[in-house]
Structure 1
């Protein structure tokens, strides 16, 4: 069991047993000597893109304001009290993606994205709580974190942000570059910039059961088969024309109760649901299209790797990628499992895959889901 500096030199097993979903963990120098991966100007440029989710939050005087990007103009860098939040930076930047990979001791099905928060002096988003686990890595400057395990999570009404009405500070820390704070879901916290600062937030997916249930019903709509049509050959004259009759209710209820779903249905649904990219994610096809033969030759030399934006999962005989699923043969399972876990497949292994898998890899390359080598 390897210890991770990232977790304060404790093992992932101990972290998950003692802290995950349970209590905060302050890790001094989780990444010693950490430097920002992007400058503030590069982050601001990213926030001008349509396919990047960004927000601008200001607290000037007693007034809170939030705007959604893309942004063509920001407040002056020297003006206090504002914050720029840029989501999914790992989808657009190699080094940010590499940082995310360090958190894969948590399953990919739960790992969400890397958000970068840039704040000028006194900037923040107010005392709040998240519905998911989060690691807060200080990248530049200092941020003062105040946290609380309070059960009162009521919010101030009429605000553009979800700000806690009654925030009671229990602990306080100042984080320096390389320091990291883990917080479990629903743990109240407030981060305030001490001078200009950047904080990297690694968040996790925690969909509500309501959202999962609604999505599952939509998924099942494509596979439901209820043959026949409603009929009532034994209908009696109606004494109350506007009343729904018992016979009709029971007949329809009986037909609907024939709908069944299996563990395979749940597996396929969950794999497609959790690998589905967010709506603002777009893939870019390669500038030059390759024939299957040319692709096979290049892949055998260079290997292949998943695009930063690709989400790939598997379970048993099923493979899921970017919201799609397919069944794999036993001999094809090993290389695709390696590709999903390592996010790369060496050329010598590409040379061993079946013609079906090779054709699939070629299609993924054409769609921008897969890259040759490290292109």
Structure 2
């Protein structure tokens, strides 16, 4: 992607300018961000997705000041009628199940893949919404059907209403108001309060971003580092100078020092931590699975499956929670595959036998697909 090319998606801003001026700083309203955009998923398609195991979905119903939340999968009878006011169906991760949603998500790859999360689709009847709230992550709100009225504000008071099964702000203070129509889009940085209410039947696509908490990231990395250390042959604790003790329950200072040194040594291993991070960032969600397939004798080209998470750093290529050392021409090829999500026959021909064998194994696992196969 040319990050210096103006995009209608960003209101004529280049990706470079958008990231500098708006990203995590201030909202941006874009009229006709995607000219002529109309949702390719009807309400029936969303209901079908929400009925599946492994697809995260919620139904939110408002009765006056009372809110009810139900979690899927849903049968058709478990949801209110489309004609009933004030209810919303939320379907998460639609980009994993529908090519059009995956294509929309791909438009936002001027942000690192490590931050991209998913496309959530909100279908709402007239008056439907989830109440005034704020998110701890960036979000682009793309209108796909009908109209939705958004009120937004830099909320100072983040206290929440009591006794409500949603995180609804107790004292919402909107500063601006917009009505979005199909193709319009609103970007909101983290913690910008917003309240969207459907005006008639409507559908909104939320392009969300991952923002791991530091504690969560530390826990994940330490677990992976610990797993790595367990597989290695490492020195055992020895204490030939240990004396007899009168207080056997006291932990020996020498053992405490041994433990501190072991942890410090692991944390000083920057390549190990980098590898653990890449594996963590590409780990598929628990509801994602792949179907193995037969691969033709000669690959004409490959496409990365929509569900595959593939990234790279200066030493490694990461695919779906696993890592490979990469160097030389093959490293450039693998990084190109991760960045462009495809390779053609000419590019594959330039790969080493080992790299082609690895790509073939990924195809057999369903992580990649030979050109011409279904991949979304």
Scaled by the length of structure 1, the TM-score of the pair is: 0.93
Gaps of 5+ in 1: none
- Aligned residue number for residue 290 of structure 2: 283
- Aligned residue number for residue 317 of structure 1: 315
- Aligned residue number for residue 357 of structure 1: 355
8 A Cα contact 2:225 2:273, kept in partner: no
- Any residues of structure 2 matched to 1:1-375 within 5 Å, and which? 1-73=4-76, 74-224=79-229, 226-229=234-237, 231=239, 233-238=241-246, 240=247, 242-244=249-251, 246=253, 249-250=256-257, 252-254=259-261, 256-286=263-293, 289-290=294-295, 294-295=296-297, 297=298, 299-300=299-300, 303-375=301-373
Scaled by the length of structure 2, the TM-score of the pair is: 0.92
Note the alpha carbon deviations across 1:307-353, whole angstroms, 9 max, x for none: 11111111123100111100123121122122111111011211221
Counterparts of 2:248 and 2:310, CA distance in 1: 55
Counterparts of 2:317 and 2:254, CA distance in 1: 45
Q: Which moved more, 1:146-155 or 1:247-256?
A: 247-256
Counterparts of 1:137 and 1:201, CA distance in 2: 6
Counterparts of 1:244 and 1:313, CA distance in 2: 44
Counterparts of 2:170 and 2:147, CA distance in 1: 26
Match of 1:333, SS? helix
Gaps of 5+ in 2: none
Counterparts of 2:259 and 2:312, CA distance in 1: 38
**Residue 32 (structure 1) shift:** 1.5
Counterparts of 2:263 and 2:325, CA distance in 1: 29
**Residue 258 (structure 1) shift:** 4.3
**Residue 237 (structure 1) shift:** 4.0
Match of 2:172, SS? coil
Counterparts of 1:227 and 1:339, CA distance in 2: 40
Counterparts of 2:160 and 2:304, CA distance in 1: 41
Return closer, same or farther for 1:260/1:209 CA change in 2, 3 Å cut-off: closer
Note the alpha carbon deviations across 1:88-139, whole angstroms, 9 max, x for none: 1111111111111111111111111111100001100111111110000001
Return closer, same or farther for 1:261/1:173 CA change in 2, 3 Å cut-off: same
Counterparts of 2:162 and 2:6, CA distance in 1: 44
Counterparts of 1:44 and 1:205, CA distance in 2: 26
Aligned residues: 365
8 A Cα contact 1:306 1:343, kept in partner: yes
8 A Cα contact 1:51 1:282, kept in partner: no
8 A Cα contact 2:57 2:72, kept in partner: yes
Return closer, same or farther for 1:246/1:369 CA change in 2, 3 Å cut-off: closer
Return closer, same or farther for 1:235/1:120 CA change in 2, 3 Å cut-off: same
